Structure 1
Amino acid sequence: SDLGPRAMYLALENYARQKGMLRMKAYFISNVDPDDAYGVLNGLDLSETLFILVSKSGTTLETLTNETLVRNMIKDAGLDPAKHMIAVTSKTSPLANSKDYLDSFYIDDYIGGRYSSTSAVGGAVLSLAIGGFVFDRFLQGASAQDGQARERDIRKNPPLLDALIGIWERNVLGYATTAVLPYAQGLSRFPAHLQQADMESNGKSVNRFGEPVNYKTGPVLFGEPGTNGQHSFYQLLHQGTDIVPLQFVGFSTNQGNLDFEVKGSTSREKLCANLAAQIVAFACGKDDENPNKRFDGGRPSSLIYGDKFSPEALGSLLSHFENKIMFQGFAWNLNSFDQEGVQLGKKLATQVLSGECTGALEAYSKMFIKR
């Protein structure tokens, strides 16, 4: 998946730019929709572009389709694709040691895409774009938080404590949804990555022994950075009929050196003021004679707050949520490291493309594909 590496790169892009460490700008192509590739490739100088092909199995249809498209464009530009592409894959994949790539980097077979940001998958793009030493600092932050996840005292184990709070909200209070709300623009794609990591890991209705469960498992997760989310879906969070637990993330300082004062306060101060205001508003609410303006409050929230939004902080934040997901999987007795739910659609799509489909699948395929 590109969600993790994309989220990590975007989280550090402004930091690297402000420090003068941004070596290369990274773009991502993941959707098999050709408009995704077109939107990225149009306007790029291919002679100065390096492509990173990421596929653990080396057989992922979407990835190989986009690779073929890219190779053809490189050839059309009079260039050698082998000099403009590297591969990140497993040692057992068809891509391993191929002469079609400038170089190959390897990930272990047991690492799923949603947990690969700290592997060569994230390492390749972050090291090339920002620098290997920055990626190393990112790993140091993740490692430090992994150490905390091994702490036996729950009061000193933030991921475990967070996991148990989430289980209480899901299984005791019956809340079906969680919102992750980072008050940091660098984390604009972090909720999307967590959405995949959490829902693909613990969105299961059978336990790790293949037996049906009779309790609720992973919640629906979504999010958007503040203050943007305040002007889109916070209305439902404040006054909707369903209570949605909230996870806020914030930092004391911004990554860039751009800040200015308007009407007596800086942009950073306004952002932090909104974060404080939302936490209190969700918790305490506000009474009013007009029911339309009444806020019941009682919306539970947690806060992860740091001083500087650094590579170490990002690694620690990622590790926190990965370990939280793992602990919840343990508690629910799930296999948080498979994703059988994505396989059926792939098989049916293969049938459609081969023309070997009947019934409703055939009817829909004729509607969408004009042969």
Structure 2
Amino acid sequence: MITWKNLDTLDSFKELSQTAKVDVADVMKGEGGAERVKKYSVPMAAGLTYHYAAKAVDDQVLEALKKLAEEAQLTEKFQALYNGEVINTGEKRLVLHHMTRGQLGNKVEADGVDKRAFYVEQQEKIADFANKVHAGEITNAAGEKFTTVVQIGIGGSDLGPRAMYLALENWAKRNNKFKMEAKFISNVDPDDAAAVLASIDVAHSIFILVSKSGTTLETLTNESFVKDALKNAGLDASKHMIAVTSETSPLAKSDDYLAAFFMDDYIGGRYSSTSAVGGAVLSLAFGPDVFAQFLKGAGEEDALAKNEDIFQNPAMLDALIGVYERNVLGYPSTAVLPYSQGLSRFPAHLQQLDMESNGKSVNRFGEPVDYVTGPVIFGEPGTNGQHSFYQLLHQGTDIIPLQFIGFKNNQMGTDVVIQGSTSQQKLCANVAAQIVAFACGKEDENQNKNFKGGRPSSIIIGEQLTPEAMGALLAHFENKVMFQGFVWNLNSFDQEGVQLGKVLAKKVLAHETEGALKELSDLLNI
């Protein structure tokens, strides 16, 4: 039987809190550090490996984390989730994003529908539509092929799909899989839509409106912006737009769209990249076969997350080490540092995934918790970040755990040799050096040049950023966030914190304001 308990009531957490602390600087030096690198790693899907030698753990800490996983029933809770129990207690909903990439457990029915069959059906419809667009069977009014796809959405309808597109764009070009350029409009700031529209040929562009409810203010505002641009160009907007929405939304059966593809309430926006939300734009941009490879990598990583042994379950182990860093060591933030230009927007996606999921101060029953929960997530690709905020990471007053991502090979297959090494070798040399520099530091009598070290990090290493590798990376972090939410006894699948501002914004636009809200509205000429 599953029980949902607060972290601070678990005996295993009290034991974890009393384990001897590990000095990262000490254990990572010399041959001891070399042995740790060989020992502390876990295989992931798609040829990736999670390495955690430079984390502040040893066998004693890891054994305590294993006990925590067992007492917190992480395996059982994940099993309940993928077998269709109501895990999103705040909204009384199932949580089914894993089902977009495979059947992990029992057949799940909701609203009288086999949900795995429903998601596969939507993927097949998207694939058929994308293939017809690429073949010139679906064209603009002049019978000409579409060359650009533009996604209109915000939050999870933008951040994840945009990050995935950018991650695979160069790979697709190198491997002759690039079908159409993709652009994204998200911000209600008119400069966002105007800039995108100015950069494309609207006559040869197809637009994807993404809104589950069909009522998202920012998205509908940007849709109107796009429709005006199409009208001004003498084009019929209904011949240039498709919708990704729920079957019950006003967009579902509207003549304003060439086609509609469906999502549902059981997949939150930040978990929707493997649903129709990501599927439509990625299938149009790269082809359905590339999207299928992406799903394959995610599905294989999900299967690893079922493993009861934390040392064979990279997402669960990563999650538990993160809980240890947050709740025992007291670290407030985590930096995600991908040494791959393709992952330039992946940290932004992980900001939403993690902070919207676990940025909670009450448990899943609405009761305040007496411990810290989700950390602040931020990041930037290396080596750019090294010339930005690494100063604080190395010598600042806060210790910030680091999550590196690196690949042995680049995506484009082009490189240059300078001073005896290639650009890719220089990139990889930098990430290896940073891990050791953060861990071991450097003593210097000049305190301004002294590095204390002891800054923990992990790294996920792969051969190349491919669709399968990207799928596995995405699923790893989704599952990490899920497991941490289970440990903290949170509902990681609602987001009430984004609602209050929306409500007040509507009052401002209706001029129903008073006090500070009225004064601020007047200052902004609303």
TM-score by length of 2: 0.70
State the one-letter code of the partner of 1:255. Q
Structure 2 residue runs of 5 or longer lacking an equivalent are 1-154
The answer for the alignment partner of 1:92 in structure 2 is 248
The answer for the alignment partner of 1:343 in structure 2 is 499
Matches within 5 A, 1:161-240: 161-240=317-396
State the one-letter code of the partner of 1:153. D
Structure number with bigger Rg: 2
The answer for the alignment partner of 2:304 in structure 1 is 148
Q: CA deviation at 1:229?
A: 0.2
The answer for the alignment partner of 1:306 in structure 2 is 462
Give the Cα separation in 1 of the matches to 2:199 and 2:314.
45
Q: CA deviation at 1:146?
A: 0.2
Once the two structures are superposed, what CA deviation does each residue of 1:193-251 show, in whole Å capped at 9, x if it has no partner?
Answer: 00000000000011110111110000000000000000000000000000000000001
Residue 207 of structure 2, aligned match among 38, 42, 51 = 51
1:74 aligns with 2:226: no
Give the Cα separation in 2 of the matches to 1:62 and 1:368.
18
Residue 411 of structure 2, aligned match among 237, 242, 255 = 255
State the one-letter code of the partner of 2:516. A
The answer for the alignment partner of 1:270 in structure 2 is 426
1:29 aligns with 2:198: no
Give the Cα separation in 1 of the matches to 2:193 and 2:220.
13
1:363 aligns with 2:519: yes
Give the Cα separation in 1 of the matches to 2:420 and 2:199.
42
Q: CA deviation at 1:369?
A: 2.1
Give the Cα separation in 1 of the matches to 2:506 and 2:342.
37
Give the Cα separation in 2 of the matches to 1:354 and 1:258.
55
1:319 aligns with 2:500: no
Q: CA deviation at 1:98?
A: 1.1
The answer for the alignment partner of 1:9 in structure 2 is 165
Once the two structures are superposed, what CA deviation does each residue of 1:12-31 show, in whole Å capped at 9, x if it has no partner?
Answer: 00000111211100000000
Give the Cα separation in 1 of the matches to 2:421 and 2:355.
39
Give the Cα separation in 2 of the matches to 1:307 and 1:46.
38
- Alignment partner of 2:249: what SS? coil
State the one-letter code of the partner of 1:213. V
- Alignment partner of 2:281: what SS? helix
Give the Cα separation in 2 of the matches to 1:369 and 1:56.
31
- Alignment partner of 1:325: what SS? helix
Q: CA deviation at 1:45?
A: 1.1
Give the Cα separation in 2 of the matches to 1:150 and 1:177.
27
Q: CA deviation at 1:43?
A: 3.5
Residue 65 of structure 1, aligned match among 194, 217, 221 = 221
Matches within 5 A, 1:102-181: 102-181=258-337
Matches within 5 A, 1:239-250: 239-250=395-406
Structure 1 residue runs of 5 or longer lacking an equivalent are none
Give the Cα separation in 2 of the matches to 1:41 and 1:218.
37
- How many equivalent pairs are there? 370
Give the Cα separation in 1 of the matches to 2:484 and 2:447.
38
Give the Cα separation in 2 of the matches to 1:310 and 1:149.
21
Q: CA deviation at 1:137?
A: 0.2
Q: CA deviation at 1:47?
A: 0.9
The answer for the alignment partner of 2:104 in structure 1 is none
**301-310 vs 23-32, greater mean Cα deviation:** 301-310
Q: CA deviation at 1:108?
A: 1.6
Q: CA deviation at 1:97?
A: 1.5
State the one-letter code of the partner of 2:470. L
TM-score by length of 1: 0.99
Once the two structures are superposed, what CA deviation does each residue of 1:100-129 show, in whole Å capped at 9, x if it has no partner?
Answer: 000000012121110000000100010000
Give the Cα separation in 2 of the matches to 1:109 and 1:203.
21
1:291 aligns with 2:447: yes
Q: Following TM superposition, where does structure 1 have runs of at least 4 consecutive aligned residues deviating by more than 4 angstroms?
A: none
Give the Cα separation in 1 of the matches to 2:189 and 2:428.
39
Give the Cα separation in 1 of the matches to 2:308 and 2:253.
43
Give the Cα separation in 2 of the matches to 1:74 and 1:111.
32
The answer for the alignment partner of 2:195 in structure 1 is 39
State the one-letter code of the partner of 1:367. L
